[in-house]
Structure 1
């Protein structure tokens, strides 16, 4: 009877914050609502409170409201957000876990004893017949980045080899990001090249060169891959060349022609909002996600350090270098932000 009543109330709930609070009441309520989702799109900024606690705060861009969850499951773990409502986390015990902070559902992944740089989730693991793949970018021998992949239920990570590497001992070039796009998996190198991941389900998974670097790309910048409609795009931070005052002024964006493998610089994201940093790089249609600004980049990059959360308006910066602006959040969030760490973007209930 109680389960039916809670389910009925949840169906009437049109706000992520109300649903979050209901699941946080107790274990029995959480169990009753584990399969009950709401169709209310929201992009949230997830932040860990300072001090020795397990409180995580979720700031909804749409409602400009702060909600709190006690997530003991994330104690001592690093984590990366996603647009699927799931986190990928890595613990001090080297265990890697797919974890949904709202339903508390989880899927174990093989252990990884390396220093993880980024964990990337390909698709929603809850989709019917999901063939979800998780990519791990990690530091290896001689300060080189490797990439490996695994699926829930696998017993070990599989390292990708690369036919463009002078050393046959593994995937040792600097890779920054990876994405699942139109049925294939791609990665971008720190040098600007795009690689295609092949034979992931076969005996010899590898990465092959797919596209050369964009024109006038000098390397050394952190690159991000994302989908923009039917196009694969890459962006990277564009630094000032000033030894006395080194800072990032914004982002340069390129679109890749998948047939000719040629790049074209673009100056607009159209109606999309781009989210990057400690998360799977993703875009959303701003009109579908209240509070999101079209043609803007939302960033939580740790290497850009002014409280760590920024917005970059692509249109405003087209004719004038305005640069990164502080993320427009409520005064309460601004006050608590300096005591938080590892902010990530996550969509609790994706469309």
Structure 2
């Protein structure tokens, strides 16, 4: 009996593969790399796999290649290059990472949107014509009954920094007023970071004070004083807010003796007592890893994310300079000023760093 070899041409159209079979194959691969490549085959595969989530417990550093190309590399904390994606959707845009697999991006046309680089899903946000300093995503917009809010920290009149917020689908941003006291310089509300914590939204000022955002769904949203600055607080560097278990914490980079913007002596960490509004200086993150920089500030349990070291701060400090990307081991620096240690990257990653787009931390498939 004459046998005939099957070729690709004999196979029915790959685009018409049954959804059930395609998702079954995707589940069997158990590989983020293969999952991403399957979504890139064609539109029908991308649509079929849009809701097919896999757990990929890794924090990635997203880096853009130089030049005018649309290639982005995702450097895994426990592999070398995780994968490369062609993302024309980010052309001409600045973006901020998150622990939810989503980016918040801002274009030259002042358009702002949520974008998932892995599923290619997107949610529109209102335009903002101001100079954006940071965009912060409160929660995963894909969660059931998600009440996701995006905060925009931006520069306004007379170099004053303001904060506004919006939800996907809103027609305009709403600016938060501030009830704090003005000082001789004109405006005290220089906000550095914001966080959704235990059902409320908080912000930290450059001066170390904590504000509570009130009436976000009402007629007069505002920021009110919640907690004073920590004792002996030395500001001047960006402050970051983060959750450490049941506690709200803040950290900021210690001032450098020589005022070198790209050198870091270390970080000081404070824990807030929400009842007494008092601060305690702490010297450990426990089993958590903290991620700072061009992203929503977040922590992860190091044991759940291979490659992460517990009690460490991973920082890009919102800069494109190699010197500002590194790891700060809290315990090791308790009695010694070792400072930021270089982030371990392969040679093929290092050439990506001199880019106009700062690297961002992102968790592609959060647990």
Which consecutive residues of structure 1, in runs of 5 or more, have no partner in the other structure? none
Aligned length, in residue pairs: 351
Among candidates 51, 60, 65, match of residue 35 of structure 1: 51
Q: Secondary structure at the match of 1:249?
A: coil
Among candidates 151, 162, 170, match of residue 178 of structure 2: 162
Deviations 1:85-138 (A, max 9, x none): 100000011110011111111110011000000000000000000000000000
Structure 1 residue 170: deviation in Å? 12
Q: Secondary structure at the match of 2:334?
A: helix
1:289–1:280 Cα change, 3 Å: same
1:103–1:145 Cα change, 3 Å: same
Aligned-partner Cα distance in 1 for 2:259–2:22:
60
Deviations 1:151-202 (A, max 9, x none): 0111110000110043999986210000000000000000000000000001
CA contact (8 A) 1:78 1:90 kept: yes
Normalising to structure 2: TM-score of the pair? 0.91
Q: Does 1:119 align with 2:138?
A: no
CA RMSD of aligned residues (A): 2.2
Answer with 106-115 or 241-250: which moved more: 241-250
Aligned twin of 1:49: 65
Answer with 325-334 or 120-129: which moved more: 325-334
Q: Secondary structure at the match of 2:47?
A: helix
Which consecutive residues of structure 2, in runs of 5 or more, have no partner in the other structure? 1-16
Structure 1 residue 31: deviation in Å? 1.6
Structure 1 residue 26: deviation in Å? 2.6
CA contact (8 A) 1:176 1:222 kept: yes
Among candidates 180, 193, 217, match of residue 201 of structure 1: 217
Structure 1 residue 311: deviation in Å? 0.9
1:207–1:171 Cα change, 3 Å: farther
Normalising to structure 1: TM-score of the pair? 0.95
1:165–1:54 Cα change, 3 Å: farther
Aligned-partner Cα distance in 2 for 1:250–1:274:
14
CA contact (8 A) 1:221 1:237 kept: yes
Among candidates 200, 204, 226, match of residue 210 of structure 1: 226
CA contact (8 A) 2:287 2:310 kept: yes
1:121–1:12 Cα change, 3 Å: same
Q: Secondary structure at the match of 1:20?
A: helix
Deviations 1:289-311 (A, max 9, x none): 11111111111113583354211
- Which structure 2 residues correspond to residues 72-151 of structure 1 after superposition, within 5 A? 72-151=88-167
1:278–1:318 Cα change, 3 Å: same
CA contact (8 A) 1:43 1:289 kept: yes
Answer with 69-78 or 307-316: which moved more: 307-316
1:113–1:28 Cα change, 3 Å: same
1:4–1:169 Cα change, 3 Å: farther
Give the ranges of 4+ consecutive aligned residues of structure 1 lying more than 6 Å apart after TM superposition.
Answer: 167-172
Aligned-partner Cα distance in 1 for 2:18–2:155:
50
Structure 1 residue 245: deviation in Å? 9.6
Structure 1 residue 337: deviation in Å? 2.6
CA contact (8 A) 2:285 2:310 kept: yes
Answer with 44-53 or 336-345: which moved more: 336-345
1:245–1:31 Cα change, 3 Å: closer
